[in-house]
Amino acid sequence: MLRPLLKDRKNSYSTLDIETGKDGAVLDIGLYDGETVSFFPSWEELNLFLMNNKENKKLRKIIAHNGGSFDYVSYVDYLTKQTQVKYEVNMSQSKIVILYVYLNRQRFEFIDSMNVFIGTSLDKLCRLFNVPVKKGKIQDYSDMAKTKEKDPENYYDYLRRDVISLYQVCKAFQNYLGIDYFPVTLASLSLYLWRRIFQKYILFSPRKPVDEFISKAYAGGRVEVFRPGSHEDVTIYDMFQSTRPHGARPAKFDL
């Protein structure tokens, strides 16, 4: 069974955002560690920076807003071509939840703030939390390469505002909840708050045999559709329909 937390979690992090051209190629990557904004023209340059600054704990956890559906997709595409770089991708519903990248024997964790601020734009979050630095504005979002060429000052200010405002939103969210770390998902946040605040009020603590018996009820399964289409003789197993003499029956399903 879960135990109440002995101490609060703490972590530090940086925020990231990328700008891409019409073809999806990276124009620039912005990174903010709470003090300095850095710009990189490619993922390779970012990797070199991380390797050379692996002692900086603020760089070991990096947050991007909607990174799991955009920024990190570009990063993983780059990583697949790098035979010397080890990485791991954890996904849910076709989105990257956590990306682990191993550089110079150090693990760097990339997470998506959209898994906490579900469906909320960064612009709206900036207004909701009333952070000092608001998300910037660009006249023509359809051609960022052209904006970079014609108006580099506005282009880089836009990218700078994106990473700073996201950092400030994450900090404001932590302050609102009275916590000192940024969670990976809403589910992990809920579990953390339960263990941190409420679980200590639970008086019932089962004996070990009872605890082990209850734990056997927890089971998980994968439900992603790996082969979409029409499939014959799909077998359904329903563990709750105990009145049936047989727990499985063939059927046809369109997935």
Domain spans in the chain, listed from the N-terminal domain onward? 14-193, 208-254
Distance CA 29, CA 16 (A): 7
Separation of CA 59 from chain center: 15
Instruction: Calculate the dihedral angle through the C-alpha atoms of 177, 90, 56, 46, rounding to the nearest 10 degrees.
Output: -120
pLDDT tens digit string along 222-239? 666 667 777 777 776 655
Nearest Cα to Cα of residue 171 among 180, 159, 162:
180
Q: How many residues does the chain have?
A: 255
Distance CA 240, CA 237 (A): 9
* pLDDT given for residue 244 in this prediction: 41
Q: Burial, 138: exposed, middle or buried (Cβ in 10 Å; 0-12, 13-18, 19+)?
A: middle
Q: Hey, how many other C-beta atoms are within 10 angstroms of the C-beta on 53?
A: 15
The CATH class for the domain spanning 14-193 reads alpha beta
| DSSP symbols for 98-135 | EEEEEETTEEEEEEEGGGTSTT--HHHHHHHHT-SSPP
- pTM, two decimals, is 0.78
**Type and span of the H or E element at 210:** helix 208-215
* pLDDT given for residue 21 in this prediction: 94
pLDDT tens digit string along 126-149? 999 999 999 988 888 889 999 999
* pLDDT given for residue 248 in this prediction: 44
- Strand pairing category for 95-103 and 61-64: unpaired
pLDDT tens digit string along 51-93? 999 999 999 999 999 999 999 999 999 999 998 899 999 998 8
| DSSP symbols for 135-184 | P---S-TT-HHHHHHH-HHHHHHHHHHHHHHHHHHHHHHHHHHT-BS--S
pLDDT tens digit string along 24-50? 999 999 999 999 999 999 999 999 999
pLDDT tens digit string along 173-215? 999 999 998 999 999 999 888 888 877 776 566 678 887 887 7
Distance CA 116, CA 97 (A): 11
